[in-house]
Chains A and B, each alone.
Chain A
Amino acid sequence: MSRHEATRADVCALAIAECFRDDGEIMVSAMGTSPSLGARLAKSTFEPDLLMTDGFNLLLRKALPLGVAPSDHDVEGWMPFGAVFDTLWWGRRHVMMGASQVDQFGNQNIACIGRWEQPKAQLLGVRGAPGNTINHVTSYWVPNHNARALVAKVDMVSGVGYDRAAALGPNTSRFHEIRRVVSNLGVFDFNTPDHRMRVVSLHPGVKLQQVIDNTGFELVVPDGLDTTPVPTPEQLGVLRELDPQGHAQKEVAT
């Protein structure tokens, strides 16, 4: 892993960081390795006002490298689980969760594969996904973009997508926003008239056909597709400091 050449994992980390641009003084909860790294990159560079925890209950002043335990002088506040719930109901939060399955409207499943009553595979359960998605901004990270993960219909709606939110009416769904889906192949959002998933950019070296072949539904493909930005040398330096052991490199399928 070079200090000077960006890998696919680095591109993903920057794309994740960009999800938090302009979020300002809210709490970011990033589940998983690449989301943690991306959120830390955002806080370390263009979004310094973000509040982030150590993954447990301490709010930290600055982003520490992955795996580094905070010392007392890194702490700026306290965020036990009770306060996490209060914060998410308050709405001052942007979470990036994983998604075992995500569909064209951004419905997400982390609960189980198969019938919920007796699943083929019990996964995490819905965890906080229903409450997160109806209360504040949510983004998703898919480290292995394939047609089993990006599906026409999720087996169980854990996180609420745009079609479900629309059915609730504008008042009930007024805090719902699925901002972006970042995968190992590209960046996607829902900024289309009917909120179907749209390709925003493809990571360098990724062909559109490869994304289409690995997606279980029809993506909206705008004219003049962008390439996902590659980290600048300065951003790459920050990424190497934040992940000296290269944990994120191992997570991202190329």
Chain B
Amino acid sequence: MDKRMTVDEAVADVADGMTIGIGGWGSRRKPMAFVRALVRKSVKDLTVVSYGGPDIGILCATGQLKKAVYGFVSLDSIPLEPHFRKARQNGALEAVELDEGMFLLGLRAAAQRLPFLPTRAGLGSDVLKINPHLKTVKSPYEDGEELVAVPALNVDVAFIHMNRADASGNGQALGRDPYFDNLYCMAAKKAYMSCEKIVSTDELVSGGPLQSLLINRMMVSGVVEAPGGAHFTECPPDYPRDEKLQREYAATAKDEDAWKAFRAKYLDVTEADYQTAVSP
């Protein structure tokens, strides 16, 4: 089945109040073309589930984010995501802050259609205090150990970005860390994948080791060719992070006019115009 579509078609079903899973990690291989499409679509009251980076930050800045569920929110080279910080410090955001490992177990539980997965992580820490919805569970075996039952992080729609894909939705991560994009897809009712380049299945299979074929076509409902679709986050080996633009973005958290200008130039434009604006 040919699942190719445009980035705007892929976000067409996203409605106000939905829970969105966003792949990548921090400021690494984030599906930014989809994030920009969500901004253009101006859907609101979103919940985002993410190892967060500028995806969460941008949606905080545009006021579209009601709730963030995260293991962290960071721009990597800028450790504290300034727009997220601002939203937290203004009390403008509902937050579910989890230990990074708990977050992974929540994704896995959702992918496995389980209500929860158990872990020791979180016990004794204030993660349980700030998340009163988290419960513990007692091992039914002789050890009787008390463990945290991390609830499934089910999402309505997931967005991920890969280096390569074929038209039917097989996707390839050519960087050195696959992160957890497959789990986001499986945790979602529907998932959409953008990629740097759509190639034939032959080219896809010969384009890297088999282990790089992280996404199979069962996992995704749509495939978008979006060169630069992770920009300004990194997408190795295709491109590094655009540190200059990331710094420019980060600086806008302190200056409302600068944010308006940034938004007008880089967000309230088509994906093609964004790519033109950032091309050297």
**Interface on A for B, CB 8 Å cutoff?**
56-58, 78, 80-82, 85, 88-89, 111-112, 116-131, 133-135, 156-160, 164-165, 167-168, 171-173, 175-176
Contacts and interface: CB of A to CB of B under 8 A. Distances in A.
- Which bracket fits the contact residues of B? 35 or more
A124 B100 contact: no
A134 B145 CA distance: 13
29 contacts: A56-B176, A56-B177, A78-B176, A80-B176, A80-B177, A81-B180, A116-B97, A116-B126, A116-B130, A121-B85, A126-B126, A127-B100, A128-B101, A129-B125, A130-B99, A130-B127, A131-B100, A133-B125, A134-B121, A157-B125, A157-B126, A158-B125, A158-B126, A160-B125, A164-B124, A164-B125, A165-B124, A172-B145, A176-B124
B121 A135 contact: yes
B122 interface: yes
Nearest to B88: A122
A173 B80 contact: no
Nearest to B81: A122
B85 to A, nearest CB: 4
Contacts of A156: 126, 130
A120 B89 contact: yes
Contacts, number: 128
Nearest to A156: B126
A41 to B, nearest CB: 24
A126 B144 CA distance: 27
B99 A111 contact: no
A108 to B, nearest CB: 10
Nearest to B146: A172
A180 B32 CA distance: 41
Interface stretch (B6-14, B66-74, B199-207, B265-273): B66-74
A82 B122 CA distance: 18
B125 A124 contact: no
B255 interface: no
A88 B80 CA distance: 24
B143 interface: yes
A10 B190 CA distance: 54
A119 B89 contact: yes
Contacts of A117: 91, 130
Contact of B102 (A111, A121, A131, A158): A131
B177 A122 contact: no
Interface in B203-231: none
Contacts of A56: 176-177
Interface centre among B124, B130, B143 (most CB of A within 10 A): B124
Contact of B177 (A57, A88, A133): A57
B102 A171 contact: no
A43 B62 CA distance: 47
Contacts of A85: 100-101, 104
B279 to A, nearest CB: 26
Nearest to A113: B89
Given A128-B101, A130-B102, A160 B91 contact: no
A159 B73 CA distance: 18
Contacts of A168: 123-124, 146
B84 A122 contact: yes
Given A82-B178, A127-B72, A172 B120 contact: yes
A135 B148 CA distance: 13
A124 B80 contact: yes
B119 interface: yes
Contacts of B120: 89, 131, 134-135, 172, 175
Given A82-B178, A88-B101, A131 B119 contact: yes
A130 B121 contact: yes
Given A80-B176, A89-B101, A111-B97, A130 B125 contact: yes
